[in-house]
A and B are shown apart, each in its own frame.
Chain A
Amino acid sequence: MSDAEELRHLMATEGDAISLNTKGFNRGRYDSVSRLDDYDELKDKARAIKEDAIERLPELIDQLEETIAENGGTLYIADDEDDANEYIREVVADREAERVVKSKSMTSEEIEVNEALEADGVEVVETDLGEWVLQVADEAPSHIVAPAIHKSRDAIAELFNERFDLDEPLETAEELTQFAREQLGELIEDAQVGMTGANFVTADTGTMALVTSEGNARKTVAATDTQIAVAGVEKVVPTVEDMQPFVELIGRSGTGQDITAYLSLLTPPVGTPNVDFGDDETPLSELDADRDFHLVLIDNGRMAMREDDDLRETLYCIRCSACSNSCANFQQVGGHAFGGETYSGGIATGWEAGIEGLDTAAEFNDLCTGCSRCVDACPVKIDIPWINTVVRDRINGEKEGQFDFLVDGLTPDEEDTSPSLQKRFFGNFETVAKVGSALAPASNWLANTTVSRQAMQRVLGVDARRELPKFTRETLVEWFADRETAVRNPDRRAVLYPDLYTNHVQVERGKAAVRVLEALNIDVVVPKVASSGRAPLSQGMVSTARDHAERVSAALLPHIEDGRDVVVIEPSDLAMFHREYKRLLDQSTHESLAGNSYEVMEYVYGLLENGASVDILTPAMGERVAYHSHCQQRTLGLEGHTTAVLERCGYDVLTSDVECCGMAGSFGYKSDYYDVSVAVGNDLRDQFTDADASDRTVVASGTSCLEQLDDLLERPTRHPIQLLAGDRR
C-alpha cells in the first residue's frame, strides 16, 4: 500500500473512534488545567526536576540500587531488550510461575516481553482492560495511555461475542467491563508473578509511582508474591517530594482528569499480606507478606540519548499523551499511522529514533507538521517539533538523493545530506517563488496546466487537487520601493518583514499592513530580506534553515540597532524568530531579533494600548467575522491581540476552536498527506459553515491557513489587517 492509501484506510476504519476519544481527552485537558492556579509553575517545577534528574542520572541509579537492596529487593540494569528479557525469564522460571499477570507498561511493550515469556510456555495476561482487548484481538496499541482508543464500543462487543462462548451477547460498556472484570479477576487471583511498569521511581526510598484508574496494577501486585517492575532508566527522580508536580499534571495532561482514581506509591516489597483466596481459615493479619521484588531498569539506547543534545529532552517525557491528543493529525489517523514499533504521537519520533533507530522513526515522522500545538500541552515543556525536525534532518542524511542533477539550479541549499527531491523542492521554495514572480503571469498559467500538474504530482508528489499559490508579477518589496511615504513626524519606526508569501503571493496583505501602520503614524520600511527558513526547516533541512536565519538576522539587526521594531505578518515566520532561531543563531543575535519582533496585529494592539486612536482604523459597525488564528501564533500566546483589535474596531468576532487548519505549509500539498490535511480541515469548515458563521467574513492570520480555508470554503478569505486597511490607498 502507498502511504496515502494506508492513511486513507486507517482514517476510514479507526479515524472516528480516535477522533472522538482524543478530542474528548484534549477538551478535558483544557478544562482541567484551567482550574489550576499554578499550572505554569507546576510545569516549570516538573521540567526542572527532570532536567536535574537526567543530568545526575548515573549517580541517582547508584543510589537507587543501594536503596532497593536495603529494602530487600533487587535492581537489575538491562542494556537492551534481550538482556532485560533474559533476566525476567529467569525470575519467572525460578518462581516456577505458570502465569504472569501484567498491568499496562509501555516499556514492557518496548522489549516485547510477552513473546519472550510465551516462548517459555508461560501464560501472560494483560490486565488493563484496553490492553486486554488488544491481546484478545491480537493488535498493537495505538495510543500510549489508552491503547485501544481506536476501537469503538461496538467493535469491542463484536470481538468479545465472536471470541468467547457467551450465553447472551454483550452490548453496553457496563456489560463489557463487567465481563472483562470477571474473566480477569480469576486469572489475577491465582497468578504467581505480577508485572508492572513504573511511572516514577525515587532514589531516596525506592518508591515507585503507578498511575492508574482501574485498580488492576494494585491487584497485580497484591495478588501475586513476586513483582517485576519494568521501566526505562529515565524514570528515576531524586526524592519522594519530587513526584508531586507530576502527580498533579499527568492525569490532567493525558485524559483530562484532575487525578486518576489510583495513584499507588509502592515501596516494594510491599507489606500487604499474601493471600490464597481459597483459604477460609487464616485471618488476613496472620498471613505473612513474604514477597520478592525485582526492578528492571532498561537502558536500550537511553544513556546514549542523554549524551545527544537534540534527543536528550525526550527523556523528560512522562508519557502522558498530551502531545498525541492535541495533535490534529493524530486525531485523524491515530497511533497505528503516527507511531513506530512501540511509541506513538509527536514525541514517538524521539523515542523511536533513540531506542529503535532512524529507520523506524522515518516511517511516521513526516506526520508532524511542526504546528507546535503540542508544545504548550506538554507538561514538561519538551520542544517536540524541534526533535521531529532534527530527526527528519538525520533521516535526510541517510537517504541517497537520486535526482540532484535535476534540481541543482532550483535548489541552492546548504545541505550536505540528500533530502528527497520533494523535500528539496519545498525546502527551496524561496527560489521557486522568485522565479514564479519573475515569470508571472505565465508561470501561474503554466503551473496550472494539466500536463504540469500531472508532472508535478509524479515527480514532486504535489497533489493535483490542491490549488497552487499564484505569484504576483510585482513583489511587495518592489511595490514599496516605488512609493512615497506620507509619515512626517512618526511616533515609532518599523521594518515590515517581507516574508516569502507576502512578498510574492499575498502581496495585498503586505500593502494593507503598510497602509495601516502608516495611518497609525509609523514610519515603515520594507527592505529586501531573505525568507525565514521555515520552508527548509519543515523538510528537516537544518543547515539551509540556519543559512536563512543568518541572512535574515544580518539584514534586520542593523534596522533594530537603528531603533526600528520588526513587524511580521506571517505567524510561522514570527515563530521562527522567537522559537527556532534560538537553535540556529547565537544567543545575543537571537535575543535581539526575538525581543524586537512583533506580529502585525499584536503591534497594532500595542499602539492602541499606548494611545493611538482606534478611530483612525476603518470602523466596522458590527460586521460579523469568523477568525482563525494560526497554530504557532497561538503557541506564542498571540491569538488574543487580533480578536481584541477587531472588537475594538467594532467587529463581531467568532474564533475557531479547532486545534489546527490541517495545512501547515507544505504538508497539505503533498499527495501522501492531502487527504489527512483535508480531513483535519473539515472541522474548521464545519464550524465556519454552520448557522452562526456562514454569513461571516472569514479572516485568518497564516498563509497556509488561508490556503486551506480557500480550498474548504466557498467564501473569499483575508488577513485581518486587510479589514483594518479598508479601502485605504
Chain B
Amino acid sequence: MSASSLDTFVSALDTQDVPCERTTRSSFVETLETHIRGPTVGVPLGDLGVELSETDVTVDPTPAQLKAAHTGVTPASFAIADYGSVVIPDSSDGAELVSLFVNRHVVVVEAEDIVPEMEAAFARFGEQFRTHLDSGIIATGPSATADMGDLVFGAHGPKEVHVIILEPTDE
C-alpha cells in the first residue's frame, strides 16, 4: 500500500457517502462502538490483529441471531482504492452472510491491504483463486436498486456500509 492508495480509497468512499474512519489497533474497540447500532453480530477479526470479544458484538452467531441482527461486522480481504470497494471473503465463518443479511455492514480493512486499482485486484484474485479455489465479493457501497422508480438503498442487502481502516500503530 502506498499513502496515495489510502487517500484515494478514503476519497472514493467519501464520494459514495460511505462513512469511513481510520484508526489504530489500540483504538479499534472504541472506534467500532460508535459505528454499531442495534443487535450486532460479527465474524472473528483475529487475522487483522483485533478482537471483538471486548465489544457487544455477538461473534459467530447462530442463524437466528443473524436474522435478528441490525448490524454485521466482518473483515475485508482487501480493498480497491480507486473504486472505494472492499472485498468480502466467502469464508466458512460466514462473513458473506454477516455482511449481507443485515441493515448495516461495518467492514474492517487493514491499510496495508489497499490495492491501487482493478488490475492489481484481479492479479491478486487470479493467484488466490488458482491456488485456493476461493470466492470473493467486490462490494462498493450499500445494496441499491432503481427498479422502483428512484434510487433506493437497501434493496436486498445492507442499507448502509461503514468502513474502518486499521493503520499501523507506530505512525
Residues of A within 8 A of B (CB): 21, 71, 127-130, 133, 146, 148, 151-154, 156, 172-174, 176-178, 180-181, 184-185, 189, 202, 204-207, 213-216, 218-219, 222, 239-241, 243-244, 247-248, 255, 258-268, 270-273, 275-285, 287, 289
B98 nearest CB across to chain A (Å):
8
Residues from chain A with a CB closer than 8 A to the CB of B121 are 244
A244 and B119 contact, CB distance less than 8 A: yes
Interface string of B95-124 (1 = CB under 8 A from A): 011101100000000000000001101110
Q: Is the CB of B122 within 8 A of A244?
A: yes
Q: Which residue of A lies closest to B62 (CB)?
A: A280
Q: Which residue from A71, A156, A259 sits with its C-beta under 8 Å from B85? A: A259
In the complex, 13 of the A-B residue pairs with CB atoms within 8 angstroms, ordered by the A residue number, are: A177-B154, A177-B155, A206-B133, A207-B125, A207-B135, A214-B155, A241-B125, A261-B142, A262-B157, A265-B129, A265-B138, A270-B96, A284-B93
Structural contact, A266 and B90, CB atoms closer than 8 A? yes
Q: How far is the CA of A205 from the CA of B130 in the complex (A)?
A: 6
Within 8 A of A (CB), among B127-146: 129-130, 133-146
Whether A181 touches B156, Cβ cut-off 8 Å, given contacts A271-B90, A277-B63, A280-B65, is yes
Q: Contacts A265-B138, A267-B129: A284 and B145 contacting too (C-beta < 8 A)?
A: no
Picked from A127, A173, A271, the residue with its CB within 8 Å of the CB of B156 is: A127
Q: Report the Cα distance A277→B157, complex, angstroms.
A: 16
Query: What chain A residues lie within 8 Å of B168 (beta carbons)?
Result: none
Bound-complex Cα distance A529 to B66 (A): 76
- Is B125's CB under 8 angstroms from A240's CB? yes
Q: State the Cβ distance, B72 to closest chain A Cβ, in Å.
A: 11
Residue from A240, A279, A289 with most neighbouring chain B CB atoms (10 Å): A240
> Chain A residues with Cβ under 8 A from B151's Cβ?
173
CB-CB contacts below 8 Å: B54-73 with A = 60-67
Pick the most buried of B134, B145, B147: most chain A CB atoms within 10 A of its CB. Answer: B147
* Bound-state Cα–Cα, A218 to B139, Å: 11
Report the separation of the CA atoms of residues A106 and B147 in the bound assembly, to the nearest whole angstrom: 17
Cα A282 to Cα B154 in complex, Å, equals 28
Are B156's CB and A215's CB within 8 A? yes
Q: B47: which A residues are within 8 A, CB to CB?
A: none
A214, A278, A282 pick with most chain B CB within 10 angstroms: A214
Asked whether B126 is an interface residue with its Cβ less than 8 Å from the other chain, the reply is yes
CA distance A243 to B136 in the complex (A): 14
User: Which one, A152, A240, A273, contacts B97 given CB within 8 A?
Assistant: A273
Alpha-carbon distance between A284 and B149 when the two chains are bound, in angstroms: 37
Are the CB atoms of B60 and A156 closer together than 8 Å?
A: no
- Check: B19 CB closer than 8 A to any chain A CB: no
* Nearest 9 A/B pairs, CB to CB: A153-B149, A215-B157, A284-B94, A280-B64, A173-B150, A130-B147, A214-B155, A215-B156, A244-B122
Q: What residue of chain A has the Cβ atom nearest to residue B44's Cβ?
A: A285
CB contacts (< 8 Å) of B9 on chain A: these are none
In the complex, whether B91 has a CB less than 8 A from a CB of chain A is yes
- Complex Cα gap A152–B90 (Å): 37
Is B3's beta carbon under 8 Å from chain A? no
* B129 engages A207 (CB within 8 Å): yes
B62 touching A241, Cβ below 8 Å: no
Q: Check A215 against B155 for contact (C-beta < 8 Å).
A: yes
Q: Which residues of A contact B142 (CB under 8 A)?
A: 261
Query: Which residues of B does A touch, CB under 8 Å?
Result: 43, 60-67, 83, 85, 90-94, 96-98, 100-101, 118-119, 121-123, 125-126, 129-130, 133-152, 154-158
Chain A residues with Cβ below 8 Å from B91 are 271-272
CA distance A556 to B145 in the complex (A): 55
State A591–B26 Cα separation when bound (angstroms).
68
> Is the beta-carbon distance between A146 and B146 smaller than 8 angstroms?
yes
Pair B92/A261 contact, Cβ less than 8 Å: no
Contact between chains at A264 and B135 (CB < 8 Å): yes
Least distance between B81 CB and chain A CB atoms (Å): 13
Q: Are B94 and A285 in contact (CB under 8 A)?
A: yes
Look across to chain A and name the residue whose beta carbon is closest to the beta carbon of B122: A244
Is A258 within 8 A of B83, CB to CB? Answer: yes
In the assembly, what is the distance between CA of A244 and CA of B121, in Å?
9
Question: Which of B139, B141, B146 has its CB near the most chain A CB atoms (within 10 A)?
Answer: B146
Q: List the B residue with the shortest CB-CB distance to A263.
A: B138
B138 close to A222 (CB less than 8 A): no
Residues in B neighbouring A265, C-beta threshold 8 A:
125, 129, 135-138
- Chain A residues closer than 8 Å to B158, beta-carbon distance: 215
Assess whether A279 is in contact with B62, with CB atoms less than 8 Å apart.
Answer: yes
Assembled-state Cα–Cα distance A5/B11 (Å): 52
B137 touches A283 (CB 8 A): no
Chain B, residue nearest A211 (CB): B138
User: Once the chains are docked, how many angstroms separate the CA of A184 from the CA of B143?
Assistant: 15
Given A153-B150, A240-B125, A262-B139 in contact, is the A216-B156 Cβ separation under 8 Å?
yes
Cα(A268)–Cα(B85), bound, Å: 22
B64 to A283, Cβ gap below 8 A?
A: no
Q: Which residues of A contact B129 (CB under 8 A)?
A: 202, 204-205, 207, 240, 265, 267
Contacts of B64 in A (CB 8 A): 277-280
A259 neighbours in B (Cβ, 8 Å): 83, 85, 138, 140
Given A275-B97, A278-B64, A262 and B137 touching (CB < 8 A)?
A: yes
CB distance from B24 to the nearest CB of A (A): 28
